[in-house]
Chain A
Amino acid sequence: MSRAWKLGAAVDTDQIVPGAVMKYGLDVIARHCLEGVRPEFAGGVQRGDVIVAGPDFGIGSSREQAAAVLVQLGVVAVIAPSYGGLYFRNAFNVGLLLLTCPRAEEIADGERIAFDARAGTVTRENGAVLACEPIPGFLLDMIEAGGLLNQLKTRLKSRTEKP
Chain B
Amino acid sequence: MQAPVTPPQTLAQKLVARAAGRERLAQGEIVNCRVDLAMFHDSSGPRRLAPMLAELGAQLWDRNKVVLVIDHFVPEADDESHRIVRLARDWAAAQRLPHVYDSVGICHVVVPQHGHIRPGMFCVGGDSHSPTGGAFGAYMFGIGATEMLGVVVTGEIWLQVPQTIFMHWHGRLADGVVAKDMMLAMIGRFGMNGGRYQAVEYCGDAVVALPMAERMTLCNMSAELGAQAGLIAPDETTRDWLARHGAPGVDVAPWHGDEGAAGVRCEFDAAALAPQVALPHSPANARAVGELESTPIDVAYIGACTGAKLEDLRGAARVLGGRRVAPGVQLLVAPASVADREAAEREGVLRRLLDAGATLLPTTCGACAGYGHAIAEGSTVISSTARNFKGRMGSASARVYLGSPYTVAASALQGRIADVREVLS
Contact = CB atoms under 8 A, between A and B. Distances in A.
Interface string A1-28: 0000000001010110011101110000
A20 B391 contact: yes
A22 B127 CA distance: 14
Nearest to A94: B146
Interface stretch (B51-59, B168-176, B413-421): B51-59
A23 B80 contact: yes
A152 B391 contact: no
Nearest to B52: A149
A26 B52 CA distance: 15
B81 interface: yes
Interface string A87-114: 0111001100000000000000000000
B197 A88 contact: yes
Contacts of A125: none
Contact of A90 (B144, B153, B195): B144
Contacts of A19: 369-371, 391-392, 394
B282 interface: yes
B192 A93 contact: no
B143 A62 contact: yes
B161 to A, nearest CB: 13
Contacts of A94: 144, 146
A138 B150 CA distance: 15
B394 A20 contact: yes
A158 to B, nearest CB: 13
A67 B144 contact: yes
A30 interface: no
A60 B145 contact: no
Contacts of B150: 93, 148, 152
Nearest to B191: A56
A94 B144 CA distance: 10
B73 interface: yes
The 8 lowest CB-CB distance pairs between A and B, nearest first, are: A85-B197, A64-B144, A19-B370, A90-B144, A62-B128, A23-B80, A93-B146, A14-B389
Given A14-B391, A90-B147, 9 more contacts: A23-B80, A36-B396, A56-B226, A59-B192, A67-B144, A86-B141, A93-B147, A136-B30, A156-B57
Interface of A: 10, 12, 14-15, 18-20, 22-24, 36, 55-56, 59-64, 67, 82, 84-86, 88-90, 93-94, 136, 138, 147-149, 152-153, 156
Interface of B: 30, 43-44, 48, 52, 55-58, 73, 78, 80-81, 84, 126-128, 130, 141-147, 149-150, 153-154, 158, 191-193, 195-197, 223, 226-228, 282, 369-371, 387, 389-392, 394, 396
